[in-house]
C-alpha cells in the first residue's frame, strides 16, 4: 500500500516537473536574464512570486530556466555514464579474460576516489562549464555503472538461452546485443534513475561551490550560491531553488524505489 | 584472523599506487607546460628551468612519476602558487577543522541511524516505522548545503542563537569555537543519517527474520535484549561498510558545507585552489583526501570481522 502511494507521488512530481520544463521552454513570467536595478532584492509579492535577486531578476523565472539547465546536464551525464558503462560492462562481463581484467582494474582504481572529489579534480582539469560538468560527473560515475552491468551480465551469460543462441551459430556481438543487453535492462534502468538523482545533487553542489555552470546562466546550485551573502536580508532567495532540488529529488527517488520494486519484487518490504 | 589482516592490508598497496598514479596524471593532463602549471603565469624563466629539472621533464613519464612519488613520500608536495606556503603544512592545518566536524558528525549520525533503523525494523510497517522511514527518505532528497542554509536561517537569522558568518579557531578554546561548529555538525549529521538509517533498517529487517532471533525470543529474552545483543551486531556489519563510504563521501562533499558556514577547512581549500588555478594545492588536497579515504576503508574492513566473523575465516 505504502509503496503504491510513493509510486503515485513520485510519478505526479515527475509529470509536474515535465510540465514546468515544457512551459519554461516557451514562456517564463519574466526574462530570466533581464536585469532590473529598480527592483533589486524585492520580497515575494503578487508580481514576483518568489521575489527578485540582487540584480532585480525574477527568481521564479530563473528557477524555471535553471530546471532546464540542471535537468539537461543530469540527462546528458546519465546517458554518457549509462551508454558507455553498459557497453564496457557487457564487454567485460561477457568476453571476460584480459579485457575484463583491464577494465575492472581501471574501474576499481577510479572507485578509490570519492565521486565528488573526483568530479572536483576533473573540473579542475576541464575548467568550469556545462560540458565540463557532464564529462566530469560522467567519468566519476562510469566505474559504478560498469560494475553493476557487469555483475548482471555475469549471471546472464550462464543462462540457457545464451547457450542456445551460441549453438544456433550466433556470433558474440549478436548475442551481446540480442540476448545479453536486453536481459540486463532491469538493473540498468534502476541504476539510471539513481544516477539521475545523484547527478542533480552533485551538479547543484558543484555550481554552489562556484566551479559549475558559470553565471549569468542560472542553475539551482549557482542560484543558492549567490543567495548565501543575502541570507540575512533576502532569505527568500534561498527558498525557491532549494525547494526545486528537494521536490525533484523526491520525485526521482520515489520513482526509483517503485521501479526497483517492479523489477525486483523479492526486495519488497 | 592475522592472515585476514595481512591480506587486506596488502590489498591496499596496489590501490594506493594507482591512486598516486591517477593524481600524478591528473595534473599532467592540464594543458600546457607542467612547470608553468605548477608555478603560475608570472614565473621567472630561471624558476621555470629549475622546476623543469625538479620535475624531471626531460626524462620519461615513469621516471617523472617516480621522482614525484619520492618527493611526496618525503612530505614535499611543493608550494602554493598564490601564497608561497608549503602545501603539506597548509593541508594539515586545514584538515584539523575538517576532521573535527566530519568525525563528530559521522559518529552522531551512526548512533542516530543505528538506533532509528533498528527501531523501525522492529516495528516494521507500524506508525514509528512509517515516521522514521519517511523522514529518512525525505532527508535523502535534501542537499546538505540547502539544509545548512535553512538551519542558518532559522537558528542564525531568525532566532539569533548562533552566528551567521565567521569562525573562531579550535586553538582558542572549545567553548568559543563550538558556537561556529554546532550548525555544520548538525547539518552533516542530519544529511548522512538518512542513507545510514535506511541501510540499518533494511539489514535489521533481514536479521529479524532469522531463526536464531525466534530462538532468542523463545528463550524468554526481553525484546530489548534480543535487539541489542542478537539483532544489532549482525545488522550493523553492512552499515559499518556504509559508514566508511560515508566518511569518504563527506571528505569529498565537505566543501559545500564549509562554504555555507564560511569555515576555512580542507574542502574549501581545494575549491579555492581550483578557482585560483593553484595546482600544487589542488594536487596535494586530492592526494591527501584520497589516501585518507583508502585508509578509512581499510580500517572499516579490518573492523568488519568484529561484527561478522565469517569474513575473516
pLDDT in tens, A207-247: 998 888 887 888 888 888 888 888 877 788 888 889 989 99
CB B32 within 8 A of CB B279: no
- Measuring CA to CA, how many Å separate A237 from each of A233, A243, B17? 10, 11, 46
Coil, strand or helix: which one is A52?
Answer: strand
Question: What H or E segment, with its residue span, contains residue B202?
Answer: helix B174-208
Q: Using one digit for the tens of pLDDT, what is the confidence trace for B253-275?
A: 788 999 888 889 999 999 888 88
Q: Cα distance from A142 to chain B (closest Cα, Å)?
A: 16
- In chain A, residues with a C-beta closer than 8 Å to the C-beta of B242 are none
The answer to which of A143-157, B55-69, B184-198 has the lowest mean pLDDT is B55-69
Nearest to A39 by CA among A23, A27, A57, A21: A57
Mean pLDDT taken over chain B: 84
The chain B residue lying nearest A211, using CA atoms, is B275
Alpha carbon of A108: minimum distance to chain B alpha carbons (Å): 8
d(CA B61, CA A106) in angstroms, rounded, equals 19
3-state helix, strand and coil shares in percent for chain A, rounded to the nearest 5: 75, 0, 20
Taking the C-alpha atoms of B230, B231, B233 and B237 in order, what is their torsion angle to the nearest 10 degrees?
150
Q: List strand residue ranges (DSSP E) for chain B, in order.
A: none
Q: Shortest CB distance from B286 goes to which of A117, A205, A249?
A: A117
How does the average pLDDT of chain A come out, rounded? 85
Evaluate whether ipTM surpasses 0.90.
no
A253–B146 C-beta distance less than 8 A: no
- Spell out a b/e string for B111-126, using b for 16 or more CB atoms within 10 Å of the CB, else e: ebbbebbbbbbbeeee
Query: Which among A125, A238, A250 has CB closest to B153?
Result: A238
Q: Do B251 and A117 touch (CB under 8 A)?
A: yes
List of chain B residues whose C-beta atoms are within 8 Å of the C-beta of residue A232: 157, 164
Which residue is closest to B266 within chain A, CA to CA?
Answer: A117
Domain span at A211: 5-268
B164/A231 touch (CB, cutoff 8 Å), yes or no: yes
Q: How many domains does chain A have?
A: 1
Q: How many CB atoms lie within 10 A of CB A41?
A: 15
Helix/strand number for chain A, H first, E second: 11, 0
Q: With a CB-CB cutoff of 8 Å, which residues 122-141 of chain B face chain A?
A: 124-125, 130, 137-138, 140-141
Instruction: Give the best-scoring range by mean pLDDT among A76-85, A88-97, A194-203, B300-309.
Output: A76-85
Angle between helices B127-140 and B87-122 (to 10 degrees): 150
Measured CA to CA, the distance from residue B275 to residue B272 in angstroms comes to 5
Give me the percent of chain A exceeding a pLDDT of 90.
Answer: 19
Q: Write out the H or E segment, with its range, that includes residue B260.
A: helix B232-260
At B160 the three-state DSSP class reads coil
- Chain A residues inside the 8 Å CB shell of B19: 109, 112-113
Distance CA(A67)–CA(B91), nearest Å, equals 36
Distance between CA B186 and CA A250 in Å, rounded?
A: 22
More confident residue, B50 or B115: B115
- Cα B228 to Cα A225: distance, rounded to the nearest angstrom: 44
Nearest chain B alpha carbon to A197: B141
Instruction: Return the ∠ at Cα B211 (arms to B206 and B214), rounded to 5°.
Output: 100
Chain pair A-B, CB pairs under 8 angstroms = 131
Q: Supply the DSSP string of A95-122, one letter for each residue.
A: H-HHHHHHHHHHHHHHHTS-HHHHHHHH
B261 touches chain A (CB under 8 A): no
Percent of chain B's residues with pLDDT above 90: 15
| Cross-chain Cβ contact A210/B290 below 8 Å | no
Strand residue runs (E) in B128-265: none
Predicted confidence (pLDDT) per residue in B126-150, tens digit: 899 899 988 998 998 899 999 999 9
Pick from A76, A66, A67: nearest CA to A132: A76
* Model pTM above 0.90: no
CATH 1.10.3720.10 corresponds to the domain B95-312: yes
Write out pLDDT tens, residues A172-207.
888 888 888 888 888 888 889 889 999 999 999 999
> How far apart, in Å, do the first and last CA atoms of chain A sit?
11
Give the pLDDT confidence of B79-129 residue by residue, as tens digits. 887 788 888 999 998 998 899 899 999 999 999 999 999 999 888 888 998
d(CA B154, CA A239): 13
Domain boundaries, chain B: 95-312
Amino acid at each position: 500500500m505504502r509503496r503504491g502511494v510513493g509510486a503515485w507521488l513520485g510519478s505526479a512530481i515527475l509529470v509536474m516537473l515535465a510540465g514546468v520544463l515544457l512551459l519554461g521552454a516557451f514562456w517564463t513570467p519574466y526574462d530570466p536574464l533581464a536585469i532590473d536595478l529598480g527592483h533589486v532584492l524585492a520580497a515575494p509579492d503578487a508580481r514576483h512570486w518568489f521575489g527578485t535577486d540582487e540584480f532585480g531578476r525574477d527568481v521564479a523565472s530563473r528557477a524555471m530556466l535553471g530546471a532546464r539547465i540542471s535537468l539537461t546536464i543530469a540527462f546528458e551525464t546519465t546517458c554518457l555514464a549509462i551508454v558507455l558503462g553498459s557497453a564496457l560492462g557487457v564487454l567485460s562481463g561477457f568476453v571476460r579474460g584480459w579485457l575484463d581484467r583491464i577494465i575492472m582494474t581501471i574501474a576499481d582504481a577510479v572507485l578509490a576516489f570519492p565521486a565528488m572529489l573526483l568530479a572536483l579534480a576533473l573540473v579542475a582539469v576541464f575548467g568550469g562549464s556545462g560540458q565540463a560538468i557532464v564529462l566530469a560527473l560522467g567519468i566519476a560515475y562510469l566505474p559504478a555503472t560498469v560494475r553493476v552491468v557487469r555483475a548482471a551480465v555475469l549471471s546472464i551469460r550462464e543462462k540457457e538461452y545464451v547457450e542456445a543462441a551460441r549453438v544456433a551459430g550466433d556470433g558474440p556481438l549478436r548475442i551481446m546485443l540480442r540476448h545479453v543487453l536486453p536481459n540486463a535492462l532491469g538493473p540498468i534502468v534502476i541504476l539510471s534513475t539513481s544516477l539521475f538523482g545523484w547527478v542533480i545533487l552533485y551538479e547543484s553542489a558543484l555550481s554552489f561551490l562556484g566551479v559549475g555552470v558559470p553565471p549569468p546562466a542560472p542553475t539551482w546550485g549557482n542560484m543558492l550560491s549567490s543567495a548565501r551573502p543575502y541570507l540575512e536580508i533576502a532569505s527568500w532567495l534561498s527558498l525557491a531553488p532549494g525547494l526545486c532540488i528537494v521536490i525533484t529529488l523526491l520525485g526521482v527517488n520515489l520513482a526509483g524505489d517503485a521501479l526497483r520494486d517492479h523489477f525486483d519484487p523479492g526486495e519488497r518490504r | 584472523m592475522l592472515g585476514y589482516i595481512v591480506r587486506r592490508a596488502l590489498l591496499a598497496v596496489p590501490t594506493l599506487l594507482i591512486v598516486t598514479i591517477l593524481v600524478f596524471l591528473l595534473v599532467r593532463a592540464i594543458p600546457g607546460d607542467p612547470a608553468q602549471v605548477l608555478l603560475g603565469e608570472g614565473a621567472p624563466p630561471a624558476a621555470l628551468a629549475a622546476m623543469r629539472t625538479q620535475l624531471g621533464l626531460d626524462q620519461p613519464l615513469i621516471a617523472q612519476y617516480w621522482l614525484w612519488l619520492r618527493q611526496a613520500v618525503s612530505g614535499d608536495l611543493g608550494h602554493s602558487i598564490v601564497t608561497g606556503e608549503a602545501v603539506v603544512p597548509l593541508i594539515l592545518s586545514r584538515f584539523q577543522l575538517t576532521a573535527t566536524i566530519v568525525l563528530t558528525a559521522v559518529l552522531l549520525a551512526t548512533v542516530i541511524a543505528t538506533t532509528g533503523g533498528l527501531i523501525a525494523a522492529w516495528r516494521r510497517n507500524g506508525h514509528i516505522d512509517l515516521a522514521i522511514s519517511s523522514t529518512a527518505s525525505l532527508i535523502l532528497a535534501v542537499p546538505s548545503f540547502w539544509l545548512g542554509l535553512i538551519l542558518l536561517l532559522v537558528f542564525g537569522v531568525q532566532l539569533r542563537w548562533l552566528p551567521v558568518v565567521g569562525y573562531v579557531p579550535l586553538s582558542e578554546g572549545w567553548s568559543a569555537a563550538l558556537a561556529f561548529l554546532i550548525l555544520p555538525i548538525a547539518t552533516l549529521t542530519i544529511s548522512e543519517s538518512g542513507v545510514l538509517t535506511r541501510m540499518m533498517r533494511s539489514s535489521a529487517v533481514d536479521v529479524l527474520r532469522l531463526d536464531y532471533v525466534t530462538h532468542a525470543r523463545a528463550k524468554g529474552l526481553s525484546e530489548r535484549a534480543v535487539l541489542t545483543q542478537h539483532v544489532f551486531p549482525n545488522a550493523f556489519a553492512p552499515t559499518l561498510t556504509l559508514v566508511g563510504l560515508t566518511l569518504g563521501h563527506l571528505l569529498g562533499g565537505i566543501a559545500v558545507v564549509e562554504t555555507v558556514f564560511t569555515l576555512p577547512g580542507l574542502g574549501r581549500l581545494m575549491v579555492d585552489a581550483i578557482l585560483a588555478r593553484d595546482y600544487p594545492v589542488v594536487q596535494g588536497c586530492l592526494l591527501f583526501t584520497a589516501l585518507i579515504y583508502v585508509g578509512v576503508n581499510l580500517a572499516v574492513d579490518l573492523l568488519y570481522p568484529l561484527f561478522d566473523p565469517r569474513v575473516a575465516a
